[in-house]
Structure 1
């Protein structure tokens, strides 16, 4: 288990918890936050890997 797995599981747990609490309290804002957390838990690893690869393969030169 690496750091990305821990981040994914943490965001997933926070998202599910916020979703349950938002539903119980009838809080739309909390459920929106839960949806964003669940969305982030699904794509944070791919996004960060893409940024790192793009930065490493950048062919920019100074003028």
Structure 2
């Protein structure tokens, strides 16, 4: 399944949640979707827990 189709389904799910459940349901569906996405990436081996907290730079210092 292409990423465009996955994005379309996610957008439709968020739209239905917003229409039928209001803004609170929209936020809940969006948050649970993000958690599910991260859990799926971790289960596939594409994401390590340290990747979320490690700085992007190779040295790790914050000097300008």
Instruction: Select the structure that is richer in helix.
Output: 1
| Shared fold (TM-score, shorter chain, > 0.5) | no
TM-score by length of 1: 0.38
Higher relative contact order (CA 8 A, sep 6+): 1
